[in-house]
Amino acid sequence: MKSDLDALMLEKDLEAILITGPAQHNPAMVYMTGGGHVSSADLIKRRGQAPVLFYNPMERDEAAKSGLTTKNLMNYNFSELLGQTGGDYQRAIAKRYQHMLTELGADRGNIALYGRSEIGTFYAIFSALQNEMPEINLVGEINNSVLMLARMTKDETEIERIRKMGKVTTEVVGLVADYITSHRVRGGVMIKADGEPLTIRDVKQRINLWLSERGAENPEGTIFAIGRDAGVPHSSGNLDDPLELGHTIVFDIYPCEAGGGYFYDFTRTWCLGFAPDEVISLYDTVLTAYNQMASQLQVGKPFKEYQDAVCDLFSAQGHPTIKEDPQTQTGYVHSLGHGIGLNVHERPWSGSNSDEKDCLVPGVVFTLEPGLYYPDKGMGIRLENSLCVRPDGTMEVLADYPMDLILPVKSS
C-alpha cells in the first residue's frame, strides 16, 4: 500500500522516486496523483516527505485536483537553461531535473525512475542527468520495484474500485451472452436480421459500447476468439469470423476505469448450442483445476506454489505443460494468474521464476485462470476470475458469474 512506500524506499536505500509522463494510462503517475487530465508532468517524492507534482502552467487546475503539493515547471526558466547548454534540449531538460531534485534535497543517493512515456527520449534525458549529477545514482528497477511492491497490496478504496469494475465487466459479459443468443441460427451459424452471419466484429463493437456506457474502457483490447484462435491464448480473435455453433469461444475481457484506472480481468469459455465430447472433457478438466486451485488457496503462500500444483494436475492427465517443456504451445502454456490493479498484469506473479515476495497476503488482488489449448484441434479453454485476499485471510471472488460452457441458442 501507498503507506508502505517510505519503508520500502528505506529497505532499498532509495533517496527519492521520480515519476514522469501523463496522469492517464500511466499507472505510476495515476497511483500517486489519482489520475486526471494532466498530459505531462513530473512527480518527485523524497523518502520521508510528501510527493511534489511539477506541472505545466496550462494544466495548473488539473494538477491542483490531485490534492498534492504542486510546483509550476515554468519557475525553472527553460529558455535560460537552453542558453546555458548551447541549445541542447536533452541537457537543458536534465538541468531542469537537477534544479527540481536539488530544491527537494534529493541531490545524492539512489533515485528510482518510473512512468510510462517515450523510452528513447527519457533514456537520453536521464543519461544526461546522470552525467550532470554524478553524486546521484539513477536506478531503473526491473524486479522488486518499490512502487510495484507497494501497489501489490491494495487498500479498501482500491479494492472497491476493482470490485466495481468487476460488476461492470460481468454485466457486459451478461449482455454479450444475451446479445449472441438473441440471434437465429442458420446452417450452424448465428445470423443477423439482415441474413448476414453474426461476426466477432459485431460482438466487439457492442462490448466497447457497453463498457463505455459504464465509464469503462478496454485500452488493451478484448479477446474474443473462436476455434483455432481460441487455442492460441493471446489471439484476440479474427473480426470477420462468424459465430459458429459447437466451437470453443474464449472470451477474455480486461477493462479499466476510463482514463486508465483500475482494471478487472475475467474469462469464460463458451460453446454456442452444443459442445463436442472432446470439448466437454477438456472443459471439465479446466473447471476441476479451477475449483481445486480455488479451494486450496491459502493466505501467505507464494503464488507460484499453485502454478506448480496446477502443472502437476494437468500433467497427471496427460497434458503437456510449461513445467516440463517451457516452449510447449499445446496443453497448459501460461501461468495460473497474476496481480491486477492499475496494470492489468502486475505483482504478485505466479510464474515458476517469481519471487518469494509474490505471496497471497491480505490486500492482494489476483486472477486465477487455468487453461488448456489445442490449436491444431481447433479448441482452447480458459476460465478466469479475479479474487482478493481479505484481511481475515479468506479469498473473495470479486464478481460472480456462471461458469457454464454451453450457451443455449434458439432452434432455427
Q: Which is nearer to a second copy, 212 or 291 (CB)?
A: 212
Do the Cβ atoms of 306 and 350 come closer than 8 Å?
Answer: yes
Does 141 contact a second copy by CB under 8 A?
yes
In sequence order, what are the beta bridge partners of 338? 349
212 binds a second copy (CB under 8 A): yes
Nearest to 305 by CA among 284, 267, 346, 335: 335
Q: How far is CA 251 from CA 7, 135, 385, in A?
A: 40, 51, 12
Q: Minimum CB separation from a second copy for residue 295, in Å?
A: 28
In the complex, the smallest distance separating the C-beta of residue 237 from a second copy, rounded to whole angstroms, is: 9
What is the secondary structure of 66-112 as a DSSP string? T-SEEEEGGGS-HHHHHHHTTT-HHHHHHHHHHHHHHHTT--SEEEE
Single out the segment in contact with a second copy by CB under 8 A; choices: 5-13, 125-133, 280-288, 379-387. 125-133
Using CB under 8 A, pick the residue from 83, 105, 123, 274 that binds a second copy. 123
34: DSSP letter: -
Nearest approach in angstroms of CB 272 to a second copy is 22
Count CB-CB contacts under 10 A for residue 87.
Answer: 9
321-380: contacts with a second copy (CB under 8 A): 326-327, 329, 333-334, 353
**Rule CB under 8 A: is residue 94 a binding residue for a second copy?**
no
Total number of residues binding a second copy (CB under 8 A)? 71
Residue by residue, DSSP assigns 234-286 as T----TT-B-BTTS-EEEEE--EETTT--B--EEEEEEES---HHHHHHHHHH
Contact criterion met (CB below 8 Å) for 231 and 377: yes
Enumerate residues 275-314 that contact a second copy by CB under 8 A.
none
With binding defined as CB under 8 A, does residue 20 bind a second copy? yes
- C-beta of 274: minimal distance to a second copy in Å? 26
Out of 221, 246, 276, 362, the only residue in the binding site for a second copy (CB under 8 A) is 221
Residue whose CB is less far from a second copy, 185 or 210 = 210
Q: Which residue, 41 or 297, is less far from a second copy as judged by CB?
A: 41
Asked if 401 is part of the footprint of a second copy (rule: CB under 8 A), the reply reads: no
CB 366, CB 396: distance < 8 Å: no
Mark 100-119 with x for binding to a second copy (rule: CB under 8 A) and - for no binding: ------------xxxxxxxx
236 binds a second copy (CB under 8 A): yes
Tell me the closest approach of the beta carbon of residue 22 to a second copy, in angstroms. Answer: 8
67 belongs to the binding site for a second copy (CB under 8 A):
no
**DSSP assigned state of 348:** E
Q: Which is nearer to a second copy, 137 or 181 (CB)?
A: 137
Quick one: which segment of 100-108, 121-129, 305-313, 377-385 binds a second copy (CB under 8 A)? 121-129
Q: Contact, 374 vs 231, CB < 8 A?
A: yes
Q: What is the dihedral of CA 242, 244, 249, 254, to 10 degrees?
A: 30
Instruction: Please give the grid coordinates belonging to residue 394.
Output: 479468506
CB of 375 to a second copy, least distance (A): 9
The cell for 94 is: 536534465
Shortest reach from residue 324's CB to a second copy, in Å: 14
CB of 403 to a second copy, least distance (A): 23
